[in-house]
Amino acid sequence: MNYSLKRWAALTRYLDDGSIPIDNNPIENLIRPWALGRKNWLFAGSLRSVRRAAAVMSLIQSAKLNGHEPYAYLKDVLTRLPTQKASAINELLPHNWNPTTDH
């Protein structure tokens, strides 16, 4: 009870703003796979490895949030990346990506 009473304003904030969800279950479900693996990532080898893993995980989750199947997205992007013009790299981001049919 003490916990709830001390956080009453935060717990009831959704009553004042209809756009705020009553719970955060959808977000928790999105991050659960990453949270479960975090102990394994302690052994990634180096800070550079961890940063690369975080970038790949961000791309995968962004692809999912944009309605793409992550494997198809990464396969297409990694195939196109070597020949993609630097000025057009934005086309490969999940929110701009259109799959190619010739790869």
Query: And the tokens for 63?
Result: 């692809």
Residue 85 pLDDT class (50, 70, 90 cuts): very high
Task: Report the distance separating Cα 60 and Cα 64, nearest Å.
Answer: 6
pTM of the full structure: 0.59
pLDDT at 102: 54
Q: Exposed, middle or buried: residue 51 (CB in 10 Å: 0-12, 13-18, 19+)?
A: exposed
Angle at Cα 55 formed by Cα 54 and Cα 58, nearest 5°? Answer: 85
Task: Report the distance separating Cα 17 and Cα 75, nearest Å.
Answer: 41
Digit-coded pLDDT (tens) for 22-76? 888 888 887 787 777 766 667 777 888 878 888 888 899 899 989 999 999 999 9
- Whether 103 shows a pLDDT value over 50: the answer reads no
